[in-house]
Amino acid sequence: MAGINDIVSKIKEQIRETDVDSVHDQWSQSKTSDNRVIIDVRERDEFVDGHIEGADFVPRGLLDLKIENLVPDRDKEIILYCGSGTRSALAAKTLEDLGYNNVASMAGGFTAWKQAGYPVNVAKTLNQEQMSRYSRHLIIPEIGEKGQMKLLDSKVLMLGAGGLGSPAALYLAAAGVGQLGIIDSDVVDRSNLQRQVVHADDRVGEPKVESAKKTIQGLNPDVEVEMFNTRLTSDNVLSIFEGYDLVIDGGDNFPTRYLINDACVHLGIPNVHGSVFRFEGQVTSFVPHDGPCYRCLYPEPPPPEFAPSCQEAGVLGVLPGVIGLLQAIEAVKLLVGIGEPLSGRLLAFDGLKTEFREMKLRRDPKCPACGEDAEFTGFIDYEQFCAVSI
């Protein structure tokens, strides 16, 4: 009867092996390439102690279950490594049996990599409390531990702690977004509580940013909340926006929306836009240089009489929950890098009919903000541009 060493030797004769020098040379040049992927098939404690930077982590015992989601293209080059080259060889044979055509095992494994003096990355990892809190994310192949770490490292700026900002902030905090910035100069009013679920009755009269921070940190102490108890203006927009990965636009007037758009385009920050009116709402994602911006959709603001605020026209209390949660979903997709964001698409919701409609949006090549010849010359007088008072 053949022993395990004999079995491994025979498998190594059947698969393709590569050496650490070749892996280093190829990987150092193409970590962001779509041509290959490198997978660490060791156990989690081994991966945490040190691994090749940029490698995906999938324990050998789960590889056959997760590989299809991680690498759907069976012709893509896959390099596997373990501690010494044995488990990765067995894993390579498994992938070949599953129909993957370009698989290699790194001979000598991570031990040989370290002995060659190549760089070792020590991972930031989830602690046990976080493993429990985000467990439902960790079992989703599209997110997993790697995606959850992206969320924890992310910084999202919320424009407004009102009807849209409330549900978006709650669910982004619950999802583990590491830092939430909140801009709002208003105080909690009892009329807000019909839809602004981040606040509470005993906080009436309290600044909204302080009220929102209490709720968010009570929900998830992992989240750092940065408060901006101020009105967004042309003078402070860049200093506030810089450093954030994504903006949630929960503004309720056109001057603020144009200002948010122009700042996001200038800084290259995705802007997840939402708006509500009575029983209707809409949401889209403006991703700089990957689709249209807000000015492509609305080159000029409509007359004030055609765009009344919620205070003037009213809004069904649960409607901002629907739109705000769609904004939160868009944010998670953009931050983790999964799915198909709403860039170039506007999703409209009719609450009375419970009906969604999708409209295509096109980038305007002559747009003054994101067009081919657009030049940033500073921010305009948005109140005068929109002819309304904010």
Secondary structure of the chain in HEC code, one letter for each residue: CCCHHHHHHHHHHHCEEECHHHHHHHHHHCCCCCCEEEEECCCHHHHHHCECCCCEECCHHHHHHHHHHHCCCCCCEEEEECCCCHHHHHHHHHHHHCCCCCEEEECCHHHHHHHCCCCCECCCCCCHHHHHHCHHHHCCCCCHHHHHHHHHCCEEEEECCCCCHHHHHHHHHHHCCCEEEEECCCECCHHHHHCCCCCCHHHCCCEHHHHHHHHHHHHCCCCEEEEECCCCCCCCHHHHHCCCCEEEECCCCHHHHHHHHHHHHHHCCCEEEEEEEECEEEEEEECCCCCCCHHHHCCCCCCHHHCCCHHHHCECCCHHHHHHHHHHHHHHHHHHCCCCCCCCEEEEEECCCCEEEEEECCCCCCCCCCCCCCCCCCCCCHHHHHCCCC
Q: 60 versus 32: which is more confidently predicted?
A: 60
Residue 243 has pLDDT above 80, yes or no: yes
Per-residue pLDDT band for 2 (boundaries 50, 70, 90) equals: low
* Mean of pLDDT over the chain: 91
Whether 348 contacts 280, CB under 8 Å: yes
Give the model's pLDDT for residue 383: 67
CATH number of 4-123: 3.40.250.10
Pairing of strands 345-350, 355-360: antiparallel
pLDDT tens sequence across 264-302:
999 999 999 999 999 999 999 999 988 999 999 888 876
Active-site position among 82, 293, 310, 367: 310
Q: 389 versus 142: which is more confidently predicted?
A: 142
C-alpha 121/C-alpha 215 separation (Å) is 36
Please give the C-alpha separations between residue 82 and each of 49, 146, 367, in angstroms, as whole numbers: 13, 18, 52
Residue 348 has pLDDT above 80, yes or no: yes
Residue 30 has pLDDT above 70, yes or no: no
Whether 310 contacts 278, CB under 8 Å: no
Give the model's pLDDT for residue 309: 53
Give the model's pLDDT for residue 310: 52
Give the model's pLDDT for residue 33: 55
Give the model's pLDDT for residue 145: 87
First CA to last CA distance, the chain: 83
Whether 262 contacts 256, CB under 8 Å: no
Instruction: Give residue limits of the domains in the chain.
Output: 4-123, 154-386
- Topology of the domain covering 154-386: Rossmann fold (3.40.50)
Across the range 29-43, mean pLDDT stands at 79
Per-residue pLDDT band for 389 (boundaries 50, 70, 90) equals: very low
For residue 282, give the amino acid letter: Q
Q: Is 130 exposed, middle or buried (0-12, 13-18, 19+ CB in 10 A)?
A: middle
Q: 350 versus 252: which is more confidently predicted?
A: 350
| Catalytic annotation present for 310 | yes
Residue 244 has pLDDT above 70, yes or no: yes
157 φ, ψ (degrees, to nearest 5):
-105, 125
Residue 1 has pLDDT above 70, yes or no: no
For 206, the token pair is: 């309290």
Does this chain's domain 4-123 share its CATH topology with 154-386?
Answer: no
pLDDT tens sequence across 158-216:
999 999 999 999 999 999 999 999 999 999 999 999 999 999 999 999 999 999 999 99
pLDDT tens sequence across 104-115:
999 999 999 999
47-56, 331-340, 381-390: segment of lowest average pLDDT: 381-390
Give the model's pLDDT for residue 181: 98
pLDDT tens sequence across 78-94:
999 999 999 999 999 99
Give the model's pLDDT for residue 388: 44
